[in-house]
Amino acid sequence: MSAPLKSSKASPLTGEIRVPGDKSISHRALMFGGLAVGETRIAGLLEGEDVLATAAALRAFGCAVAHDADGAWRVRGRGVGGLAEPSELLDLGNSGTAMRLFMGIAAAHPFTSFFTGDASLRARPMARVATPLSSMGARFVSRSNWRLPLAVIGSADLMPIEYTLPVASAQVKSAILLAGLHAPGETTVIEPQPTRDHTELMLRHFGAEVRVEDIGGARRVTVVGERELAAADIVVPGDPSSAAFALVAAAIVPGSSLICPGVGLNPLRAGLIDTLLEMGADITVANRRVAGGEPVGDLTVRHGPLTGVVVPAERAPRMIDEYPVLAVAAAHARGATVMHGLGELRVKESDRLSAIVDGMRAAGATVAVEGDRLTVEGRGAPLAGGAAIATNLDHRIAMAFLVLGAATERPMQIDDGRPIDTSFPGFAALMNAVGLRIERA
Protein backbone atom coordinates (compact mmCIF):
# COMPACT_ATOMS: atom_id res chain seq x y z
CA MET A 1 0.00 0.00 0.00
CA SER A 2 1.33 3.44 -0.94
CA ALA A 3 1.97 6.20 1.60
CA PRO A 4 1.03 9.60 0.09
CA LEU A 5 2.64 12.64 1.69
CA LYS A 6 2.11 16.36 1.30
CA SER A 7 4.16 19.40 2.23
CA SER A 8 2.87 22.89 2.90
CA LYS A 9 4.39 26.36 3.09
CA ALA A 10 7.04 26.19 5.82
CA SER A 11 8.20 28.37 8.67
CA PRO A 12 11.80 29.58 8.47
CA LEU A 13 14.15 26.63 8.78
CA THR A 14 16.32 27.06 11.85
CA GLY A 15 18.56 24.96 14.07
CA GLU A 16 20.67 21.97 13.12
CA ILE A 17 19.96 18.90 10.99
CA ARG A 18 22.36 15.98 10.96
CA VAL A 19 21.84 14.08 7.72
CA PRO A 20 22.37 10.31 7.47
CA GLY A 21 25.70 8.79 6.50
CA ASP A 22 26.81 8.90 2.89
CA LYS A 23 25.12 6.11 0.95
CA SER A 24 27.92 5.61 -1.58
CA ILE A 25 30.54 5.35 1.16
CA SER A 26 28.32 3.12 3.32
CA HIS A 27 27.94 0.55 0.53
CA ARG A 28 31.67 0.52 -0.09
CA ALA A 29 32.60 0.36 3.59
CA LEU A 30 30.59 -2.84 4.01
CA MET A 31 31.82 -4.41 0.76
CA PHE A 32 35.49 -3.58 1.27
CA GLY A 33 35.26 -4.78 4.85
CA GLY A 34 33.97 -8.07 3.47
CA LEU A 35 36.95 -8.34 1.10
CA ALA A 36 39.53 -7.45 3.76
CA VAL A 37 41.34 -9.68 6.23
CA GLY A 38 40.25 -8.96 9.79
CA GLU A 39 37.42 -6.98 11.33
CA THR A 40 36.37 -3.51 10.13
CA ARG A 41 34.38 -1.22 12.42
CA ILE A 42 32.11 1.31 10.69
CA ALA A 43 30.64 4.33 12.49
CA GLY A 44 27.92 6.52 10.98
CA LEU A 45 26.74 3.90 8.47
CA LEU A 46 23.55 4.85 6.65
CA GLU A 47 20.89 2.42 7.88
CA GLY A 48 18.57 2.90 4.91
CA GLU A 49 17.02 0.02 3.03
CA ASP A 50 19.59 0.08 0.22
CA VAL A 51 22.56 -0.27 2.57
CA LEU A 52 20.82 -2.88 4.72
CA ALA A 53 20.34 -4.90 1.51
CA THR A 54 24.10 -4.74 0.96
CA ALA A 55 24.71 -5.97 4.52
CA ALA A 56 22.29 -8.87 3.96
CA ALA A 57 24.01 -9.79 0.69
CA LEU A 58 27.42 -9.84 2.39
CA ARG A 59 26.06 -12.26 4.99
CA ALA A 60 24.88 -14.48 2.14
CA PHE A 61 28.46 -14.35 0.76
CA GLY A 62 29.69 -15.70 4.11
CA CYS A 63 30.80 -12.51 5.87
CA ALA A 64 29.96 -11.90 9.54
CA VAL A 65 28.14 -8.55 9.72
CA ALA A 66 26.95 -7.28 13.12
CA HIS A 67 25.26 -4.13 14.43
CA ASP A 68 26.50 -3.09 17.88
CA ALA A 69 24.43 -1.49 20.62
CA ASP A 70 26.39 1.77 20.22
CA GLY A 71 25.22 2.06 16.60
CA ALA A 72 28.48 0.98 14.97
CA TRP A 73 28.70 -1.92 12.52
CA ARG A 74 31.35 -4.63 12.37
CA VAL A 75 32.31 -6.68 9.32
CA ARG A 76 34.63 -9.69 9.53
CA GLY A 77 36.04 -10.10 6.05
CA ARG A 78 37.04 -13.24 4.15
CA GLY A 79 39.86 -11.73 2.09
CA VAL A 80 40.18 -10.98 -1.62
CA GLY A 81 38.69 -13.91 -3.52
CA GLY A 82 37.46 -15.58 -0.34
CA LEU A 83 33.69 -15.09 -0.47
CA ALA A 84 31.40 -18.12 -0.22
CA GLU A 85 28.76 -19.10 -2.77
CA PRO A 86 25.35 -17.68 -1.78
CA SER A 87 22.64 -20.29 -1.34
CA GLU A 88 19.86 -17.82 -2.06
CA LEU A 89 18.68 -15.19 -4.52
CA LEU A 90 20.18 -11.84 -3.46
CA ASP A 91 17.59 -9.02 -3.41
CA LEU A 92 19.26 -5.60 -3.56
CA GLY A 93 16.03 -3.61 -3.38
CA ASN A 94 16.37 -0.25 -5.10
CA SER A 95 20.16 0.02 -5.11
CA GLY A 96 21.89 0.37 -8.46
CA THR A 97 25.17 1.05 -6.65
CA ALA A 98 25.02 -2.24 -4.75
CA MET A 99 24.01 -4.19 -7.85
CA ARG A 100 26.77 -2.88 -10.09
CA LEU A 101 29.53 -3.12 -7.48
CA PHE A 102 28.49 -6.65 -6.50
CA MET A 103 28.70 -7.60 -10.19
CA GLY A 104 32.40 -6.72 -10.06
CA ILE A 105 32.93 -8.65 -6.84
CA ALA A 106 30.93 -11.72 -7.88
CA ALA A 107 32.65 -11.80 -11.28
CA ALA A 108 35.90 -12.73 -9.53
CA HIS A 109 34.59 -15.77 -7.63
CA PRO A 110 34.28 -19.25 -9.23
CA PHE A 111 30.59 -19.78 -8.62
CA THR A 112 27.22 -18.41 -9.78
CA SER A 113 25.45 -15.63 -7.91
CA PHE A 114 21.83 -14.66 -8.57
CA PHE A 115 20.61 -11.08 -8.11
CA THR A 116 17.28 -9.27 -8.26
CA GLY A 117 15.74 -6.06 -6.93
CA ASP A 118 12.54 -4.04 -6.77
CA ALA A 119 10.52 -3.03 -9.84
CA SER A 120 12.67 0.05 -10.38
CA LEU A 121 16.00 -1.80 -10.20
CA ARG A 122 14.72 -4.62 -12.40
CA ALA A 123 14.09 -2.04 -15.14
CA ARG A 124 17.60 -0.56 -15.05
CA PRO A 125 20.26 -1.53 -17.61
CA MET A 126 23.25 -3.61 -16.54
CA ALA A 127 24.97 -4.00 -19.93
CA ARG A 128 27.42 -1.18 -19.29
CA VAL A 129 28.88 -3.21 -16.40
CA ALA A 130 28.55 -6.65 -17.96
CA THR A 131 30.43 -5.62 -21.11
CA PRO A 132 33.84 -4.88 -19.52
CA LEU A 133 33.49 -7.67 -16.94
CA SER A 134 32.78 -10.13 -19.75
CA SER A 135 36.04 -9.12 -21.41
CA MET A 136 37.80 -10.00 -18.15
CA GLY A 137 36.36 -13.52 -18.19
CA ALA A 138 33.05 -13.40 -16.29
CA ARG A 139 29.75 -14.53 -17.83
CA PHE A 140 26.21 -13.26 -17.30
CA VAL A 141 22.65 -14.44 -17.88
CA SER A 142 19.79 -11.95 -17.64
CA ARG A 143 16.39 -11.02 -18.96
CA SER A 144 16.17 -9.12 -22.24
CA ASN A 145 18.07 -5.84 -22.48
CA TRP A 146 20.34 -6.88 -19.60
CA ARG A 147 17.65 -6.43 -16.96
CA LEU A 148 17.39 -8.21 -13.61
CA PRO A 149 17.02 -10.93 -12.42
CA LEU A 150 20.63 -11.57 -13.39
CA ALA A 151 23.11 -14.39 -12.83
CA VAL A 152 26.82 -13.66 -12.51
CA ILE A 153 28.96 -16.68 -13.44
CA GLY A 154 32.29 -15.78 -11.94
CA SER A 155 35.82 -16.93 -12.64
CA ALA A 156 38.87 -17.35 -10.45
CA ASP A 157 41.01 -16.57 -13.51
CA LEU A 158 39.96 -13.04 -14.46
CA MET A 159 42.28 -11.16 -16.76
CA PRO A 160 43.26 -7.52 -16.26
CA ILE A 161 42.01 -5.00 -18.80
CA GLU A 162 42.41 -1.37 -19.78
CA TYR A 163 38.95 0.04 -20.38
CA THR A 164 37.77 3.49 -21.46
CA LEU A 165 34.34 4.33 -20.11
CA PRO A 166 31.96 5.27 -22.94
CA VAL A 167 29.84 7.18 -20.38
CA ALA A 168 31.12 8.68 -17.14
CA SER A 169 29.98 6.34 -14.36
CA ALA A 170 31.52 5.83 -10.93
CA GLN A 171 29.54 2.60 -10.58
CA VAL A 172 30.98 1.04 -13.73
CA LYS A 173 34.47 2.22 -12.84
CA SER A 174 34.13 0.74 -9.36
CA ALA A 175 32.87 -2.62 -10.63
CA ILE A 176 35.89 -2.96 -12.92
CA LEU A 177 38.34 -1.95 -10.18
CA LEU A 178 36.79 -4.42 -7.73
CA ALA A 179 37.10 -7.20 -10.29
CA GLY A 180 40.66 -6.03 -10.96
CA LEU A 181 41.56 -6.59 -7.31
CA HIS A 182 41.33 -10.30 -8.10
CA ALA A 183 43.18 -10.27 -11.45
CA PRO A 184 46.95 -10.56 -11.94
CA GLY A 185 48.81 -7.42 -12.90
CA GLU A 186 47.17 -4.04 -13.38
CA THR A 187 43.60 -3.18 -14.29
CA THR A 188 43.01 0.34 -15.61
CA VAL A 189 39.91 2.44 -16.16
CA ILE A 190 40.09 5.62 -18.21
CA GLU A 191 37.24 8.01 -17.53
CA PRO A 192 36.66 10.92 -19.94
CA GLN A 193 35.19 13.00 -17.12
CA PRO A 194 36.20 12.57 -13.48
CA THR A 195 33.53 10.79 -11.43
CA ARG A 196 33.21 10.37 -7.67
CA ASP A 197 36.36 8.70 -6.36
CA HIS A 198 35.14 7.02 -3.16
CA THR A 199 36.31 3.65 -4.44
CA GLU A 200 39.87 4.83 -5.08
CA LEU A 201 40.11 6.60 -1.72
CA MET A 202 38.68 3.68 0.23
CA LEU A 203 40.77 1.05 -1.55
CA ARG A 204 43.85 2.96 -0.44
CA HIS A 205 42.41 3.18 3.09
CA PHE A 206 42.26 -0.64 3.08
CA GLY A 207 45.82 -0.93 1.77
CA ALA A 208 45.33 -1.48 -1.97
CA GLU A 209 47.78 -0.04 -4.48
CA VAL A 210 45.85 2.48 -6.58
CA ARG A 211 47.30 5.04 -8.99
CA VAL A 212 45.39 8.01 -10.40
CA GLU A 213 46.76 10.08 -13.28
CA ASP A 214 45.26 13.16 -14.89
CA ILE A 215 45.48 12.98 -18.67
CA GLY A 216 44.28 16.17 -20.31
CA GLY A 217 41.10 16.54 -18.26
CA ALA A 218 40.43 12.81 -18.17
CA ARG A 219 41.57 10.40 -15.45
CA ARG A 220 43.43 7.11 -15.64
CA VAL A 221 42.77 4.93 -12.59
CA THR A 222 44.81 1.76 -12.05
CA VAL A 223 44.56 -0.93 -9.36
CA VAL A 224 47.21 -3.59 -8.78
CA GLY A 225 45.56 -6.97 -8.40
CA GLU A 226 46.07 -10.04 -6.22
CA ARG A 227 46.95 -8.04 -3.10
CA GLU A 228 45.19 -8.62 0.20
CA LEU A 229 43.22 -5.82 1.83
CA ALA A 230 43.63 -5.17 5.55
CA ALA A 231 40.68 -4.34 7.80
CA ALA A 232 40.45 -0.59 8.51
CA ASP A 233 37.94 1.31 10.64
CA ILE A 234 35.81 3.93 8.90
CA VAL A 235 33.75 6.95 9.99
CA VAL A 236 31.11 7.61 7.31
CA PRO A 237 30.51 11.35 6.68
CA GLY A 238 27.07 12.86 6.21
CA ASP A 239 25.73 12.28 2.70
CA PRO A 240 25.99 15.43 0.53
CA SER A 241 23.18 14.10 -1.67
CA SER A 242 20.92 13.99 1.42
CA ALA A 243 22.17 17.35 2.70
CA ALA A 244 21.16 18.81 -0.69
CA PHE A 245 17.49 18.75 0.28
CA ALA A 246 18.09 20.67 3.50
CA LEU A 247 20.40 23.16 1.74
CA VAL A 248 17.87 23.96 -0.99
CA ALA A 249 14.96 24.11 1.46
CA ALA A 250 16.77 26.68 3.59
CA ALA A 251 17.85 28.62 0.49
CA ILE A 252 14.26 29.06 -0.77
CA VAL A 253 12.26 29.48 2.49
CA PRO A 254 12.44 33.12 3.66
CA GLY A 255 14.10 33.75 7.01
CA SER A 256 15.90 30.40 7.16
CA SER A 257 19.29 29.79 8.76
CA LEU A 258 20.21 26.12 9.02
CA ILE A 259 23.32 24.17 10.06
CA CYS A 260 24.24 20.78 8.55
CA PRO A 261 27.23 19.39 10.49
CA GLY A 262 29.63 16.67 9.37
CA VAL A 263 28.79 16.65 5.65
CA GLY A 264 31.15 15.03 3.15
CA LEU A 265 32.84 17.61 0.92
CA ASN A 266 34.57 15.38 -1.62
CA PRO A 267 35.26 17.70 -4.60
CA LEU A 268 33.88 15.05 -6.97
CA ARG A 269 30.56 15.17 -5.07
CA ALA A 270 30.34 18.93 -4.46
CA GLY A 271 28.79 20.00 -7.76
CA LEU A 272 25.51 21.11 -6.18
CA ILE A 273 27.25 23.28 -3.59
CA ASP A 274 29.39 24.87 -6.32
CA THR A 275 26.27 25.54 -8.39
CA LEU A 276 24.28 27.01 -5.49
CA LEU A 277 27.20 29.30 -4.68
CA GLU A 278 27.29 30.45 -8.31
CA MET A 279 23.56 31.19 -8.01
CA GLY A 280 24.31 33.45 -5.02
CA ALA A 281 23.29 31.10 -2.21
CA ASP A 282 24.56 32.05 1.25
CA ILE A 283 26.49 28.89 2.21
CA THR A 284 29.50 28.82 4.52
CA VAL A 285 31.75 25.94 5.57
CA ALA A 286 33.37 25.61 9.00
CA ASN A 287 35.50 23.02 10.81
CA ARG A 288 36.96 21.41 7.69
CA ARG A 289 38.57 18.05 8.46
CA VAL A 290 39.37 14.62 7.02
CA ALA A 291 37.62 11.39 8.11
CA GLY A 292 38.47 8.02 6.59
CA GLY A 293 40.27 9.74 3.73
CA GLU A 294 37.24 11.93 2.90
CA PRO A 295 37.03 15.74 3.42
CA VAL A 296 34.24 16.78 5.81
CA GLY A 297 32.84 20.11 7.05
CA ASP A 298 29.95 21.83 8.81
CA LEU A 299 27.66 23.75 6.44
CA THR A 300 25.52 26.76 7.27
CA VAL A 301 22.95 27.96 4.71
CA ARG A 302 20.78 31.07 4.92
CA HIS A 303 17.92 32.21 2.73
CA GLY A 304 18.72 34.79 0.10
CA PRO A 305 18.05 35.74 -3.53
CA LEU A 306 19.19 33.31 -6.22
CA THR A 307 20.10 34.00 -9.85
CA GLY A 308 19.87 31.60 -12.79
CA VAL A 309 23.12 30.13 -14.10
CA VAL A 310 24.42 27.79 -16.79
CA VAL A 311 25.52 24.41 -15.40
CA PRO A 312 28.09 22.82 -17.75
CA ALA A 313 27.85 19.18 -18.82
CA GLU A 314 31.23 18.32 -17.29
CA ARG A 315 29.79 19.05 -13.83
CA ALA A 316 27.09 16.37 -14.17
CA PRO A 317 29.15 13.47 -12.77
CA ARG A 318 29.75 15.53 -9.60
CA MET A 319 26.04 16.11 -8.94
CA ILE A 320 24.04 13.63 -10.98
CA ASP A 321 21.73 12.78 -8.06
CA GLU A 322 21.11 16.41 -7.14
CA TYR A 323 19.48 17.71 -10.34
CA PRO A 324 15.89 17.14 -9.11
CA VAL A 325 16.41 19.40 -6.10
CA LEU A 326 18.54 21.85 -8.12
CA ALA A 327 15.50 22.29 -10.38
CA VAL A 328 13.56 23.29 -7.26
CA ALA A 329 16.16 25.95 -6.44
CA ALA A 330 16.22 27.10 -10.07
CA ALA A 331 12.45 27.67 -10.05
CA HIS A 332 12.96 30.23 -7.25
CA ALA A 333 15.91 32.00 -8.90
CA ARG A 334 15.63 35.09 -11.02
CA GLY A 335 16.28 34.19 -14.65
CA ALA A 336 16.91 30.95 -16.48
CA THR A 337 19.00 28.08 -15.18
CA VAL A 338 20.27 25.86 -18.00
CA MET A 339 21.57 22.40 -17.08
CA HIS A 340 23.58 20.49 -19.69
CA GLY A 341 24.57 16.84 -19.92
CA LEU A 342 21.62 15.21 -18.13
CA GLY A 343 21.25 12.11 -20.31
CA GLU A 344 22.21 9.85 -17.39
CA LEU A 345 19.06 10.96 -15.54
CA ARG A 346 16.97 8.88 -17.93
CA VAL A 347 18.41 5.61 -16.55
CA LYS A 348 18.36 6.30 -12.81
CA GLU A 349 15.75 4.88 -10.39
CA SER A 350 13.21 6.38 -12.79
CA ASP A 351 13.41 8.56 -15.89
CA ARG A 352 14.30 11.48 -13.64
CA LEU A 353 14.53 14.00 -16.44
CA SER A 354 10.92 13.40 -17.47
CA ALA A 355 9.84 13.31 -13.83
CA ILE A 356 11.44 16.71 -13.16
CA VAL A 357 9.82 18.27 -16.23
CA ASP A 358 6.34 16.85 -15.56
CA GLY A 359 6.40 17.70 -11.87
CA MET A 360 7.75 21.22 -12.24
CA ARG A 361 5.19 22.04 -14.93
CA ALA A 362 2.40 20.69 -12.73
CA ALA A 363 3.59 23.00 -9.94
CA GLY A 364 3.47 26.04 -12.24
CA ALA A 365 7.09 26.35 -13.36
CA THR A 366 8.19 27.07 -16.92
CA VAL A 367 10.60 24.34 -18.00
CA ALA A 368 11.89 22.98 -21.28
CA VAL A 369 13.94 19.95 -22.22
CA GLU A 370 15.88 19.49 -25.43
CA GLY A 371 18.01 16.36 -25.71
CA ASP A 372 20.01 16.18 -22.50
CA ARG A 373 19.56 19.90 -21.66
CA LEU A 374 17.03 21.13 -19.10
CA THR A 375 16.04 24.79 -18.75
CA VAL A 376 14.10 26.14 -15.77
CA GLU A 377 12.82 29.72 -16.08
CA GLY A 378 12.95 31.19 -12.59
CA ARG A 379 10.72 34.12 -11.64
CA GLY A 380 12.29 34.90 -8.28
CA ALA A 381 8.90 34.21 -6.68
CA PRO A 382 7.02 31.21 -5.21
CA LEU A 383 5.28 28.80 -7.56
CA ALA A 384 1.57 28.09 -7.34
CA GLY A 385 2.03 24.45 -6.35
CA GLY A 386 -1.07 22.40 -5.61
CA ALA A 387 0.05 19.45 -7.73
CA ALA A 388 0.09 15.70 -7.13
CA ILE A 389 3.37 14.09 -8.22
CA ALA A 390 3.84 10.52 -9.41
CA THR A 391 7.27 9.56 -8.03
CA ASN A 392 7.61 6.18 -9.81
CA LEU A 393 9.27 4.76 -6.68
CA ASP A 394 12.10 7.30 -6.95
CA HIS A 395 13.24 8.57 -3.56
CA ARG A 396 14.99 11.70 -4.88
CA ILE A 397 11.99 12.79 -6.91
CA ALA A 398 9.84 12.29 -3.80
CA MET A 399 12.09 14.40 -1.56
CA ALA A 400 12.64 17.12 -4.16
CA PHE A 401 8.94 17.82 -4.56
CA LEU A 402 8.34 17.73 -0.81
CA VAL A 403 11.04 20.42 -0.54
CA LEU A 404 9.31 22.37 -3.32
CA GLY A 405 6.07 22.31 -1.31
CA ALA A 406 7.82 24.18 1.51
CA ALA A 407 7.76 27.34 -0.63
CA THR A 408 4.73 26.98 -2.95
CA GLU A 409 1.45 28.83 -2.45
CA ARG A 410 -0.52 25.59 -2.23
CA PRO A 411 0.67 22.23 -0.84
CA MET A 412 2.50 19.70 -2.97
CA GLN A 413 1.60 16.01 -2.74
CA ILE A 414 3.57 12.89 -3.67
CA ASP A 415 1.97 9.51 -4.30
CA ASP A 416 4.31 7.41 -2.16
CA GLY A 417 6.87 8.36 0.47
CA ARG A 418 8.03 4.84 1.27
CA PRO A 419 11.02 4.80 -1.15
CA ILE A 420 12.56 7.72 0.77
CA ASP A 421 13.79 5.27 3.39
CA THR A 422 16.15 3.72 0.84
CA SER A 423 18.51 6.68 1.23
CA PHE A 424 17.20 9.06 3.93
CA PRO A 425 15.43 7.23 6.76
CA GLY A 426 13.54 9.65 8.99
CA PHE A 427 13.53 12.38 6.31
CA ALA A 428 10.12 13.83 7.17
CA ALA A 429 10.69 13.86 10.93
CA LEU A 430 14.15 15.44 10.64
CA MET A 431 12.99 18.10 8.18
CA ASN A 432 9.87 18.86 10.21
CA ALA A 433 12.03 19.34 13.31
CA VAL A 434 13.75 22.32 11.65
CA GLY A 435 10.61 23.93 10.19
CA LEU A 436 9.14 21.96 7.28
CA ARG A 437 5.52 20.80 7.27
CA ILE A 438 5.42 17.30 5.83
CA GLU A 439 2.45 15.12 6.74
CA ARG A 440 0.36 12.25 5.46
CA ALA A 441 -1.90 13.26 2.62
- Indicate the pTM of the whole model: 0.87
**Could you give the number of structural domains in the chain?**
2
Domain end, chosen from 198, 215, 235, is at 235
Percentage of the chain lying above the pLDDT 70 cut: 99
Tell me the three state secondary structure of residue 312: coil
Q: Is the bond preceding residue 149 a cis peptide, omega within 30 degrees?
A: yes
Answer yes or no: do 153 and 180 share one domain.
Answer: yes
Bridge partners, residue 153, by sequence: 112, 139
What local confidence, expressed as pLDDT, does residue 158 receive? 97
Answer yes or no: do 108 and 205 share one domain.
Answer: yes
Answer yes or no: do 270 and 295 share one domain.
Answer: yes
Answer yes or no: do 14 and 125 share one domain.
Answer: no
Q: Which residue has the higher pLDDT, 317 or 204?
A: 204
What local confidence, expressed as pLDDT, does residue 125 receive? 85
Answer yes or no: do 241 and 229 share one domain.
Answer: no
What local confidence, expressed as pLDDT, does residue 36 receive? 98
d(C-alpha 51, C-alpha 45), whole Å: 8
- Residue 1 pLDDT > 70: no
Beta strand 36-43 pairing with 73-78:
antiparallel
- Residue 123 pLDDT > 70: yes
User: At 346, is the pLDDT very low, low, confident or very high (cuts 50, 70, 90)?
Assistant: confident
Q: Please list, in sequence order, all residues whose beta carbon lies within 8 angstroms of the beta carbon of residue 308, skipping any fewer than 6 positions away.
A: 279, 330, 333, 334, 335, 336, 337, 338, 376, 377, 378
Domain end, chosen from 177, 201, 235, is at 235
Give mean pLDDT, residues 72-78.
98
Answer yes or no: do 258 and 114 share one domain.
Answer: no
Quote the domain boundaries for residue 135. 23-235
CATH number reported for the structural domain that contains residue 176 in this entry: 3.65.10.10
The mean pLDDT value of the chain amounts to: 95
- Residue 349 pLDDT > 70: no
Between the CA of residue 419 and those of 4, 49, 99, 100, 424, what are the distances in Å? 11, 9, 17, 20, 9
Domain end, chosen from 216, 235, 254, is at 235
Active site residues: 321
Amino acid making up residue 115: F
User: At 293, is the pLDDT very low, low, confident or very high (cuts 50, 70, 90)?
Assistant: confident
What local confidence, expressed as pLDDT, does residue 2 receive? 79
What local confidence, expressed as pLDDT, does residue 120 receive? 87
Contact 265, 293 (CB under 8 A): no
Answer yes or no: do 16 and 62 share one domain.
Answer: no
Answer yes or no: do 139 and 244 share one domain.
Answer: no
What local confidence, expressed as pLDDT, does residue 216 receive? 86
> pLDDT for 43-58, tens place per residue?
999 998 999 999 999 9
Answer yes or no: do 284 and 429 share one domain.
Answer: yes
> pLDDT for 125-170, tens place per residue?
899 999 999 999 999 999 999 999 999 999 999 999 999 999 889 9
Answer yes or no: do 42 and 168 share one domain.
Answer: yes
Answer yes or no: do 231 and 241 share one domain.
Answer: no
> pLDDT for 245-285, tens place per residue?
999 999 999 999 999 999 999 999 999 999 999 999 999 99
What local confidence, expressed as pLDDT, does residue 154 receive? 98
> pLDDT for 86-98, tens place per residue?
999 999 998 999 9
Answer yes or no: do 224 and 286 share one domain.
Answer: no
Give mean pLDDT, residues 387-405.
95
Contact 249, 11 (CB under 8 A): no
What local confidence, expressed as pLDDT, does residue 294 receive? 87
> pLDDT for 219-246, tens place per residue?
999 999 999 999 999 999 999 999 999 9
> pLDDT for 176-215, tens place per residue?
999 999 999 999 999 998 999 999 999 999 999 999 999 9
